[in-house]
């Protein structure tokens, strides 16, 4: 981005050019006219006039370019700050926070100054730090879904979150952009479901009470046996996906719900967790009966009886299509803004170099015809800069849509 120091540098250069023109023409006029300096001074003033005009044009175009780049930065900042989920940026080498949005400050209870003095280690319980170090070492470039973590508020309260991160280059440093989604309610719902199901079994009214309780929950609930086949789904599942209970019972969830957009790697990790009878959480694309896809936040838990014998898996799905669409839009807009900023910084150099070269030529011009030619070229270069600014403004308008 164009800074004030560059602006002052241009003024200093312009002053130097003017002083040089005055000195050169003054001396030339003195020796050429044997002390009659007035014709030389007039010629010097003419050169000064065109130099000043040129410098003003350059400063004006660069200033306008600065305004466009500032608008790009402001657009990104607004997208970041207005996001409803907590988001922050931290340096990959030191793990220190360097930016945070308002949602994160509200969620964690810190002021902005307090937050920017912390690292990603400071918002995690001590028992999670070894896992954090392992993830930091194995972290790959690109979008990363890091799964479920425990975070700590300023008050000391621990709560579960789902973490996704994306590598960015911010303020000249290699950083990561992180979004944390509070899944406290989702976990609580899962725990409530487990408690409700155990109570049903104890009362020996398993089937009837299971339907009455779980059918009142808005999340999509699937019960899967040890054989990997669906045993039961709740009312919300049927209403959302379009399947009836008889249509899905006895089938594998992958047969009913998965399609071309379902991530294969995620399904492999899910299969490994099921084989080990471990809790698993992920985000993946599922499909309705009509073939329409949707994003789902999936939490699947193994349920055991009092003796520790495995009974079944209970899968709780939360539809997060709108949230994922917002995230994808932010990522697209961020990439587009980065591209605009990069192109502008490179495209701007060419006409600026032309302006600098033409100014040098204009200084050495000895005839009015040469001066006119150089000024005409300067006008063409200024027109190119103006067109670049106009094109950039149009692209920013398209991103805002």
Selected from 3.30.1330.10, 3.30.450.20, 3.40.50.300, 3.20.20.70, the CATH number assigned to the domain covering 84-182 reads: 3.30.450.20
What are the pLDDT digits (tens) for 244-264?
A: 999 999 999 999 999 999 999
List Cα–Cα distances, 363 to 61, 283, 376, in angstroms: 21, 65, 15
Residue 332, SS3?
helix
- Equal fold, 84-182 vs 186-323: yes
pLDDT at 49: 65
Does residue 58 carry a pLDDT above 80? no
Using the predicted structure, report yes or no on whether residue 287 has a pLDDT greater than 90.
yes
* Out of 24-28, 43-47, 346-350, 396-400, least confident range: 24-28
Of the chain, the percentage scoring pLDDT greater than 70 comes to: 65
Looking at residue 111, its pLDDT comes to 94
Is the per-residue pLDDT at 31 higher than 50?
A: no
The pTM assigned to this predicted structure is 0.37
How much of the chain is helix, strand and coil, in % rounded to 5? 60, 20, 20
Q: Is the pLDDT of residue 284 over 80?
A: yes
pLDDT at site 59 = 67
The three-class DSSP label of residue 338 is helix
Q: Among 228-237, 377-386, 387-396, which range has the highest average pLDDT?
A: 228-237
The pLDDT of residue 205: 58
- In this predicted structure, what is the pLDDT of residue 1? 43
Q: Which residue has the higher pLDDT, 378 or 264?
A: 264
* pLDDT over threshold 60, residue 302: yes
Percentage of the chain beyond pLDDT 90 is 32
Say if residue 32's pLDDT is above 70. no
Query: What's the confidence (pLDDT) of residue 154?
Result: 95
Higher pLDDT among residues 286 and 211, named by residue: 286
Distance of CA 34 to the CA centre of its chain: 70
Interval 139-154: pLDDT, tens: 656 778 888 899 999 9
pLDDT in tens, 92-107: 889 999 999 999 999 9
Instruction: Calculate the alpha carbon distances from 109 to 81, 181, 185, 188, 382 in Å.
Output: 16, 16, 19, 22, 51
- Compute the mean pLDDT over every residue in the chain, rounded to the nearest whole number: 77
Which is the CATH superfamily of the domain at 186-323? PAS domain (3.30.450.20)
Each domain of the chain, given as residue ranges in start order, spans 4-80+348-400, 84-182, 186-323
3-state secondary structure of 12: helix
d(CA 340, CA 330): 15
pLDDT digits (tens, 9 = 90+) for 171-191: 888 888 999 999 888 888 777
Q: What is the pLDDT of residue 171?
A: 80
Please, which pLDDT band fits residue 2 given cuts at 50, 70 and 90?
very low
Residue 316: name the closest of 237, 401, 210, 251 by CA.
237
Cα separations in angstroms, 94 against 115, 116, 249, 303: 15, 12, 51, 41
Question: How many residues are there in the chain?
Answer: 401
* 7: confidence class by pLDDT, cuts 50, 70, 90: low
């Amino acid at each position: 981005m164009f800074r004030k120091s560059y602006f002052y540098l241009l003024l200093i250069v312009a002053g130097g050019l003017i002083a040089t023109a005055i000195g050169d023409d003054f001396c030339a006029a003195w020796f050429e006219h044997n002390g009659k300096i007035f014709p030389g001074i007039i010629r010097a003033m003419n050169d000064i006039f065109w130099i000043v005009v040129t410098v003003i044009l350059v400063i004006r175009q660069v200033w306008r370019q600065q305004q466009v780049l500032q608008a790009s930065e402001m657009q990104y900042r607004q997208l970041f700050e207005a996001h409803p989920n907590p988001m922050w940026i931290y340096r990959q080498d030191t793990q220190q926070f360097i930016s945070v949005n308002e949602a994160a400050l509200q969620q964690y209870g810190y002021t902005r100054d307090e937050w920017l003095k912390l690292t990603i280690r400071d918002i995690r319980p001590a028992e999670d730090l070894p896992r954090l170090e392992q993830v930091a070492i194995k972290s790959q470039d690109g979008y990363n879904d890091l799964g479920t973590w425990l975070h700590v508020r300023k008050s000391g309260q621990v709560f579960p979150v789902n973490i996704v991160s994306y590598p960015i280059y911010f303020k000249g440093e290699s950083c990561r952009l992180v979004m944390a989604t509070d899944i406290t309610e989702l976990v609580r719902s899962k725990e409530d479901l487990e408690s409700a199901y155990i109570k049903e079994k104890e009362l020996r009214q398993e089937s009837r009470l299971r339907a009455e309780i779980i059918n009142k929950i808005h999340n999509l609930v699937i019960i899967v046996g040890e054989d990997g086949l669906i045993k039961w789904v709740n009312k919300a599942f049927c209403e959302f996906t379009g399947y009836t209970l008889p249509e899905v019972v006895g089938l594998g969830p992958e047969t009913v719900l998965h399609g071309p957009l379902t991530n294969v790697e995620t399904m492999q990790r899910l299969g490994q967790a099921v084989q080990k009878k471990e809790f698993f959480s992920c985000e993946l694309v599922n499909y309705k009966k009509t073939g329409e896809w949707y994003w789902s936040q999936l939490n699947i838990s193994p349920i055991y009886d009092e003796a520790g014998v495995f009974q079944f898996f209970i899968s709780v799905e939360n539809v997060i299509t709108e949230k994922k669409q917002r995230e994808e839009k932010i990522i697209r807009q961020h990439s587009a803004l980065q591209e605009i900023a990069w192109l502008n910084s490179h495209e701007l150099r060419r006409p600026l170099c032309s302006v600098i070269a033409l100014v040098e030529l204009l200084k050495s011009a000895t005839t009015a015809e040469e001066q006119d030619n150089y000024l005409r070229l300067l006008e063409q270069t200024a027109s190119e800069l103006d067109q670049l600014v106009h094109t950039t403004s149009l692209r920013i308008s398209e991103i805002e849509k």
